[in-house]
Amino acid sequence: MAVTARKTDYFPYLLLIPALVVTIIIVAWPVIETVRLSFTDASLKPTENFVGLHNYQRMFARKFPETIMRTFYWMGLSVSLKIILGVAGAALLNSAVPGRNLFRVLVMPPWIVPIAIGVFIWSWMYNGQFGMISGLLQRFGLISEPMEFLAYRQSAFLSTIVTDVWVGTPLVTVYLLAAMQGIRSDLLEAAWVDGAGRFYRFRRITLPLIMPSIATMSLLSAIWTFNSFDIIWILTEGGPRNATTTMIIDTYKTAISRFKYGEGSARAVMIVLFLSLFAGFYFLMISRIAKKEVGND
Amino acid sequence: MINKYRWWEMLLIYCGITLLLIFLLAPFVEAFVVSLRPIQALRSIPYRFITENMSFDAYHSMWKSVPLLWLYMFNSFMIAAAVTFFALIAVIPAAYAFARFEFKGRDGLLTAFLAINMVSGAVLLIPLYKVMKQLGLLNTYFAMIAPGAAFSIPTGIWLLRSYLLKIPKELEEAAWADGASRLYTLRRVILPIAMPGIVVVAIATFIGAYAQQFLFALTFNSVNELNPLPVGMFQFFGRQTIVWNELMAASLVGILPVLIVYIFLQKYIVAGLTAGAVKE
């Protein structure tokens, strides 16, 4: 192609400069600096000393494996719920019933409004004395006394998940709905002519065809959920007794609330390691999907 | 007809949709009802959805309790708009480079940009704080704008690149053959054609930046007059006795503009969010 005929062409690199400069200052350099800080005793004091693996040893001596397990448990539950609700929601909104355009519009608000504002509202609803959820459960006789959802370890854990699912479900639903709409209608019609029922068509045609989208969305959703900060911080700040302290919350508490930059950085490095693992999976998956599509065409 | 439903199928579908919408919208309804309740009724036990003496009083009194509400809303819009503007300046040329040119390290660089998507700002707060401090940007709008823009660049590049890939190359080749410079071609040939794609990227970036401005503002800014809506409200939230009806009223007024924008632009927003889900 004529535009790229010259041997060494600097034009594309010039085009990349703005994006590269911003990304290096705000993302790449901080990542490297985090790794460096994780080997120091950096804190509020002006000097910092190299301490080797000390921060990592301390971290693992202090229930860090437990925090990792909790993070994955929290993420796993939240992502599964989002995907289940998302697939069900997309299937429902994909059906040709009157009013579906309106329903599609109504699904998005939890994702559109600032996350923090939505979480304020949830925090009111979880209130034990006057909150809606406790009140309704009492009305239906499911609990006998007011329940302060954010005060107990297990209920706080589940409450933060429910709010996270509330924020994340709209995007998953709309994304999977778009995937379902991308299915060629002649496939479904052919099956219909052959007498396949609605549920059979969904299970045998729709579901397999949107599987790549479900897989992609699951992984992306896992990454976002792993990074989820606002929701837990506003609802519980990681409590009660660390029941909702995920790795991100743990890092923030160590570094920002307690000014232990070195130890906080060691935790951040662990997060980056896990995220690179996810990223590796993600790229492997999209290249697999791309290959499959080339093979099918 | 393939799309004809039996009555019980219709019923099931509507029941399912209703349940989903109740879960997603109940908090907003509850927030609205709470904003109407007098403060004494908020402490009534047992819980009642409708109480006596409901009124819009909280919508008047909140301006005294949250005197800077207008400013918070303005700041939120300002920050999100600036994030979008700076992100686009970086995204448009980069997406063009990735879509049109073959150069050494292209695939590696594109992968690197996508990998950035995986890291969140919360992980990098410590060094970011140092960067902002060294550049003297703490407690300025820019401390909240720059990280937001940087973290929305990768998605923007990805979205716009796939849009640009669909534009036929012949157009540029024709311009090139006519002796137009490449920068001119980008500005006068590509940009106008790519405008729908750019609009989608801009709206998606704006919505994302508007929804996620809590963390950076909380950490990098301590000047109340510069706070975006979520952090401004968070201070109100952190007080000993929370005046819930005013908090809910202020929250609803605060999110109203973005909901209105959403209703008008929802086609573009959904397009921006779902690009990539559909096979071409």
Tell me the mean pLDDT in the region B120-143: 87
Which chain B positions have a beta carbon within 8 Å of A261's beta carbon? 126
Q: What is the pTM of this model?
A: 0.88
Complex prediction ipTM: 0.86
Would residue A288 count as lying in a domain? no
Written as one letter, the residue type at A218 is S
pLDDT at B278 over 60: no
Mean pLDDT of chain A: 86
pLDDT tens, residue by residue, A2-44? 454 555 678 889 999 999 999 998 888 899 999 999 998 888 7
Which chain B positions have a beta carbon within 8 Å of A192's beta carbon? 2
pLDDT tens, residue by residue, B77-86? 999 999 999 9
User: What residue in B sits closest to A189 (Cα-Cα)?
Assistant: B2
Q: Does B100 touch chain A (CB under 8 A)?
A: yes
What's the CATH number where A109 sits? 1.10.3720.10
Q: Kindly report the number of other CB atoms within 10 A of residue A132's CB atom.
A: 22
Probe site for chain A from B8, B24, B131, B244 (most A CB atoms < 10 A): B24
Confidence of residue B93 (pLDDT cuts 50, 70, 90): very high
Which chain B positions have a beta carbon within 8 Å of A275's beta carbon? 118-119, 123
Tell me the mean pLDDT in the region A185-191: 84
Would residue A278 count as lying in a domain? no
Which chain B positions have a beta carbon within 8 Å of A139's beta carbon? 46-47
Dig out the tokens for A70 from the structure. Answer: 């909790």
Written as one letter, the residue type at A245 is T
Across the A:B interface, residue pairs with CB atoms under 8 Å apart total 297
Interchain proximity B122–A229, CB inside 8 Å: yes
Q: What's the sign of the alpha-carbon dihedral A147, A149, A151, A154?
A: positive
Would residue A42 count as lying in a domain? no
Q: Does B147 touch chain A (CB under 8 A)?
A: yes
Confidence of residue B275 (pLDDT cuts 50, 70, 90): low
Asked if A121 and B27 touch (Cβ cutoff 8 Å), the reply is: yes
- For B176, the closest of A2, A22, A227 (CB atoms) is A2
pLDDT tens, residue by residue, B234-255? 887 766 677 888 888 988 998 8
Interchain proximity B127–A223, CB inside 8 Å: no
Cα→Cα distances A249→A45, A226, B26, B122, B123, Å: 23, 10, 28, 9, 10
- For B126, the closest of A108, A229, A265 (CB atoms) is A265
Dig out the tokens for B106 from the structure. Answer: 């292209």
Tell me the mean pLDDT in the region A129-149: 79
- For A22, the closest of B90, B169, B176 (CB atoms) is B90
pLDDT at A70 over 60: yes
User: What residue in A sits closest to B156 (Cα-Cα)?
Assistant: A19
- For A97, the closest of B14, B48, B230 (CB atoms) is B14
* CATH of B63-274 given 1.10.3720.10, 2.102.10.10, 3.40.50.300, 2.60.40.10: 1.10.3720.10
Asked if B155 and B88 touch (Cβ cutoff 8 Å), the reply is: no
Would residue A152 count as lying in a domain? yes
Split into its structural domains, chain A has a count of: 1
Lowest mean pLDDT among A226-235, B75-84, B206-215: B206-215
Residue % of chain B over a pLDDT of 90: 21
Tell me the mean pLDDT in the region A282-291: 80
Looking at the complex, report in whole angstroms how far the Cα of residue B197 sits from the nearest Cα belonging to chain A: 17
Lowest mean pLDDT among A55-59, B108-112, B175-179: B175-179
Size of chain B, expressed as the number of residues it contains: 280
Cα-only R_g, chain A: 24
User: What residue in A sits closest to B49 (Cα-Cα)?
Assistant: A132
Spans of all domains in chain B: 7-55, 63-274
Tell me the mean pLDDT in the region A141-153: 81
pLDDT at A270 over 70: yes
Its domain, for residue A212, covers 51-268
Written as one letter, the residue type at A80 is S
Interchain proximity A166–B17, CB inside 8 Å: no
pLDDT tens, residue by residue, A234-267? 999 887 888 999 999 999 998 888 888 888 999 9
Q: Between B270 and A99, name the one with better pLDDT.
A: A99
pLDDT at A55 over 50: yes
Asked if B213 and B79 touch (Cβ cutoff 8 Å), the reply is: yes
Confidence of residue A293 (pLDDT cuts 50, 70, 90): low
Interchain proximity B127–A37, CB inside 8 Å: yes
- For B25, the closest of A109, A111, A261 (CB atoms) is A109
Interchain proximity B124–A115, CB inside 8 Å: no
3-state secondary structure (DSSP) of residue B118: coil
Interchain proximity A3–B100, CB inside 8 Å: yes
Probe site for chain A from B25, B79, B124 (most A CB atoms < 10 A): B124
pLDDT value, residue A161:
96
| SS3 assignment for A174-190 | HHHHHHHHCCCHHHHHH
Interface of B with A in 61-90 (CB under 8 A): 76, 86, 89-90
Distance CA B175, CA B180 (A): 6
pLDDT value, residue B279:
38
User: What residue in B sits closest to A9 (Cα-Cα)?
Assistant: B103
- For B102, the closest of A4, A23, A171 (CB atoms) is A4
